């Protein structure tokens, strides 16, 4: 049944999305809270807490989705983009509903609306998703490289969004491969660690090691992204050659 599945996903992403809001300014406060958590990779405590809060079901879904993005993201990018638009819309709807009492109906409605709008405007959807990934990368690089100025991570996020959003129209294949591998790496590593934390025998050693080496998770995500990009590079080259043979497409 889809209802408990979506409810489980929304419940277990609460450490990132949860922002207590009341009144008419709830939506603005919600978005402020979401952007404040955009550099989550540079905040090890929040990152570990979020991963640890994932249920077995959600961690499995993230791992499988991330693996697909890493291995076949470019080849299957159209359906994956629509799926990401649906999931992003559900997350956005859930964030908006925080000011209305957290309504699953609103989350699903916004998710379906985003997926419906994304289908006929695929290039613009790719630009938005690529820009979002660029903002995520920019904000976290800013926080990781300059922790003393982490409060200004929005500047890195803005530069990352503009760079990848514009590049998606000029270097579409390269940008699609990049944001697929980055998003896949984040989902795969986060989901895999979430699965490992479900085993009581190794849970405590893993959490202790993650606290001792707070930059381990971002490093694992970077390594996974690079491996995914290398794996998908032949598909990228083959697509470029096909486009060159059929320029009218």
Between CA 73 and CA 233 the distance in angstroms is 11
156, 174, 145, 113: which is closest to 42 by C-alpha? Answer: 145
Characterize 21-53 residue by residue with b for buried, 16 or more Cβ atoms within 10 angstroms of its Cβ, and e for exposed.
beeeebeebbeebbeebbbbbbbbeebbebbbb
Q: What is the pLDDT of residue 20?
A: 41
Average pLDDT, integer, range 103-117:
82
- Average pLDDT in the 105-127 region? 84
Q: What is the pLDDT of residue 52?
A: 86
- Between 9 and 207, where is the model more confident? 207
Q: Give the pLDDT confidence of 218-249 residue by residue, as tens digits.
A: 889 999 999 988 888 776 656 555 554 443 43
According to the model, what pLDDT value does residue 24 have?
A: 35
Report the pLDDT value the prediction gives residue 35, as an integer from 0 to 100.
53
* pTM > 0.75: no
Task: Kindly state the percentage of the chain with pLDDT values over 90.
Answer: 5
Neighbours of 123 (CB within 10 A): 10
Contact (Cβ atoms closer than 8 angstroms) between residue 151 and residue 40:
no
Structure tokens, 138: 């920019």
The predicted-structure confidence for 140-149, as pLDDT tens digits, reads as follows 888 777 777 7
pLDDT at 26: 44
User: Span 171-179, mean pLDDT?
Assistant: 84
Tell me the pLDDT tens digit for each residue of 73-100. 777 778 888 887 887 787 777 777 766 6
pLDDT at 138 over 80: yes
Quote the pLDDT of residue 164.
87
Give residue 196's pLDDT band: very low, low, confident or very high (50, 70, 90): very high
Burial of 200 (0-12, 13-18, 19+ CB in 10 A): exposed
- Rounded mean pLDDT of 183-209? 89
Domain ranges in the chain are: 2-234
Dihedral sign computed on CA atoms, order 150, 51, 185, 95: negative
Q: Is pLDDT above 70 for 36? A: no
């Amino acid at each position: 049944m889809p209802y408990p599945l979506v409810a489980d996903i929304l419940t277990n992403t609460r450490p990132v999305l949860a922002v207590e809001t009341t009144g008419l300014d709830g939506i603005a406060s919600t978005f402020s809270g979401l952007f404040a958590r955009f550099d989550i990779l540079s905040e090890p405590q929040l990152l570990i807490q979020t991963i640890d809060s994932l249920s077995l079901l959600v961690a499995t879904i993230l791992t499988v989705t991330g693996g697909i993005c890493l291995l076949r993201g470019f080849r299957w990018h159209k359906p994956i983009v629509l799926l990401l638009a649906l999931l992003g819309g559900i997350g956005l709807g859930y964030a908006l509903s925080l000011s209305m009492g957290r309504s699953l109906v609103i989350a699903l409605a916004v998710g379906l609306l985003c997926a419906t709008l994304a289908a006929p405007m695929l290039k613009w959807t790719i630009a938005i998703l690529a820009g979002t990934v660029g903002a995520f990368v920019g904000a976290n690089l800013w926080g990781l490289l300059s922790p003393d100025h982490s409060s200004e991570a929005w500047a890195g996020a803005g530069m990352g969004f503009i760079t990848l959003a514009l590049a998606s129209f000029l270097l579409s294949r390269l940008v699609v491969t990049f944001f697929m591998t980055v998003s896949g790496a984040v989902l795969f590593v986060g989901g895999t660690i979430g699965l490992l934390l479900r085993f009581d025998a190794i849970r405590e050693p893993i959490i202790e090691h993650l606290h001792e080496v707070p930059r381990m998770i971002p490093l694992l995500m970077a390594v996974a992204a690079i491996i995914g990009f290398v794996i998908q590079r032949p598909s990228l080259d083959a697509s470029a050659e096909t486009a060159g043979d059929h320029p009218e497409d």
